[in-house]
């Protein structure tokens, strides 16, 4: 008969309190529950093993008895494991310390309280190891669909799933789709206009399977919007740098701006300073909640030198600069 380290099975320390033990067990049981892992024998074995461990150390009386046995077993190991370890006096039927003729098995009500109705696992036989049965007796009676018989739990929705999705700013402006694979299933998910980094898009009924006839869970797309090379987003508004040469800034003129909705013509008044902002109403991003409403586009003027200036142009500018300097004096 093999010794079972129930603390190691649950992944808790030997001095863990009841709250920690229960919380850790809940996570394991939800993860490995056969209704969540249909046909997975490894998951079923881990589910049974974690339930056995929980029943052994969640009850104060059982835990005290197990801790005494565990301490003596460790001493036997430290002595070099000479001979066979004597389990005889720890057997329930031999009147060992803390002995009991009955072992408490979780009832359907206990299981429903712990997992919100996640029952429905039918296990043949009592499913307990020889080690557990030796210490605490057989797992008689029905409990959580683990020891003998089938217990039908309340219907419970399946697990929600999350997938990270990155989109471009252009895709955010127009709305887009993504092929999403969850397990062996592939779906085309629609991503609406106006999503932002941090938005969650819910795809109803595309999550984990329901338990005991419950509805499937939902699939959530966690959205990240990639940075754009030209535009900076601020809520539903956009900002863009608008470079013009100083001739245009001084004399005024027109500048063409490519937006996600098409090209627009912006009139630049004469003597416009670098840093001047122009507001193009309704040329920003669509609002996620109200996709027919759009933010604004703000274009900030930046003055740049014209390319390929001739010596004649430079001389003319120098003359103008000298005249302006003389006039200022």
Examine the pLDDT at 255 and tell me if it is beyond 60.
Answer: yes
Q: Give residue 159's pLDDT.
A: 81
Q: Which domain holds residue 13?
A: 6-136
- Residues 12, 113, single domain; the answer is yes
If pLDDT is split at 50, 70 and 90, which confidence band does 14 have? Answer: very high
- Residues 16, 97, single domain; the answer is yes
Examine the pLDDT at 118 and tell me if it is beyond 80.
Answer: no
Q: Give residue 154's pLDDT.
A: 66
Angle between helices 41-57 and 18-32 (to 10 degrees): 160
- Residues 87, 199, single domain; the answer is no
Of 22 and 139, more confident: 22
Is there a domain that residue 152 lies in? no
Q: Give residue 328's pLDDT.
A: 56
What's the domain count of the chain?
Answer: 3
Contact 52, 138 (CB under 8 A): no
For residue 34, which of 51, 59, 56 has the smallest C-alpha distance? 51
Q: What is the pTM of this model?
A: 0.50
**CATH at 246:** 2.60.260.20
- Residues 248, 306, single domain; the answer is yes
- Residues 169, 126, single domain; the answer is no
Q: Give residue 138's pLDDT.
A: 55
100 burial (CB, 10 Å; 0-12 / 13-18 / 19+) is middle
- Residues 207, 238, single domain; the answer is no
Q: Alpha-carbon distance 57 to 24, whole Å?
A: 12
Q: What's the average model confidence in pLDDT over 299-318?
A: 86
Q: Which of 171, 193, 225 is the last residue of a domain?
A: 225
- Residues 194, 269, single domain; the answer is no
If pLDDT is split at 50, 70 and 90, which confidence band does 270 have? Answer: very high
Is there a domain that residue 38 lies in? yes
**CATH at 33:** 1.10.287.110
Examine the pLDDT at 97 and tell me if it is beyond 60.
Answer: no
Q: What's the average model confidence in pLDDT over 241-245?
A: 92
- Look at 45-54, 72-81, 110-119, 244-253 and tell me which has the smallest mean pLDDT: 110-119
Examine the pLDDT at 98 and tell me if it is beyond 60.
Answer: no
Q: Give residue 92's pLDDT.
A: 63
Tens digits of per-residue pLDDT, 137-170? Answer: 654 333 333 443 334 456 778 888 889 999 999 9
Percent pLDDT > 70 in the chain is 82
Token pair in block for residue 73: 């077993």
Token pair in block for residue 306: 């014209």
- Residues 212, 239, single domain; the answer is no
Q: Alpha-carbon distance 56 to 95, whole Å?
A: 18
Q: What's the average model confidence in pLDDT over 274-302?
A: 94
- Residues 259, 176, single domain; the answer is no
Cα distances (Å, whole numbers) of residue 40 to 36, 49, 62, 168:
9, 14, 30, 39
- Look at 115-129, 214-228, 294-308 and tell me which has the smallest mean pLDDT: 115-129
Q: Which of 190, 225, 260 is the last residue of a domain?
A: 225
- Residues 266, 201, single domain; the answer is no
If pLDDT is split at 50, 70 and 90, which confidence band does 278 have? Answer: very high
Tens digits of per-residue pLDDT, 320-329? Answer: 878 877 765 4
Examine the pLDDT at 282 and tell me if it is beyond 90.
Answer: yes
Q: What's the average model confidence in pLDDT over 70-81?
A: 86
For residue 29, which of 145, 137, 188 has the smallest C-alpha distance? 145
């Amino acid at each position: 008969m093999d010794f079972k380290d129930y603390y190691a099975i649950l992944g808790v320390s030997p001095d863990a309190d009841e709250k920690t033990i229960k919380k850790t067990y809940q996570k394991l049981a939800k993860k490995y529950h056969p209704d969540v892992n249909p046909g997975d024998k490894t998951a079923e074995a881990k589910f049974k093993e974690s339930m056995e461990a929980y029943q052994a150390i969640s009850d104060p009386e059982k835990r005290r008895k197990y801790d005494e046995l565990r301490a003596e077993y460790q001493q036997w190991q430290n002595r070099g494991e000479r001979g066979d370890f004597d389990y005889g006096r720890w057997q329930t039927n031999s009147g060992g310390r803390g002995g009991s003729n009955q072992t408490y098995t979780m009832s359907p009500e206990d299981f429903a309280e712990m997992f919100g109705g996640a029952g429905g696992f039918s296990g043949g036989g009592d499913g307990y190891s020889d080690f557990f049965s030796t210490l605490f007796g057989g797992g008689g009676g029905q409990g959580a669909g683990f020891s003998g018989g089938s217990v039908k739990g309340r219907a419970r929705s399946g697990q929600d799933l999350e997938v990270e999705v990155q989109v471009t700013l252009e895709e955010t402006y127009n709305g887009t789709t993504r092929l999403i694979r969850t397990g062996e299933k592939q779906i085309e998910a629609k991503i609406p206009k106006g999503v932002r980094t941090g938005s969650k898009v819910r795809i109803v009924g595309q999550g984990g399977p329901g338990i005991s006839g419950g509805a499937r869970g939902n699939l959530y797309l966690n959205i990240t919007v990639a940075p754009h090379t030209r535009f900076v987003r601020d809520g539903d508004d956009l900002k863009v740098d608008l470079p013009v040469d100083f001739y245009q800034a001084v004399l005024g003129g027109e500048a063409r701006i490519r937006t996600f909705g098409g090209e627009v013509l912006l009139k630049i008044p004469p003597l416009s300073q670098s840093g001047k902002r122009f507001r193009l109403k309704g040329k920003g991003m669509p609002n996620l909640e109200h996709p027919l409403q759009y933010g604004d586009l703000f274009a900030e003027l930046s003055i740049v030198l014209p390319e390929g200036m001739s010596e004649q142009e430079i001389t003319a500018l120098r003359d103008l600069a000298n005249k302006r300097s003389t006039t200022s004096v």
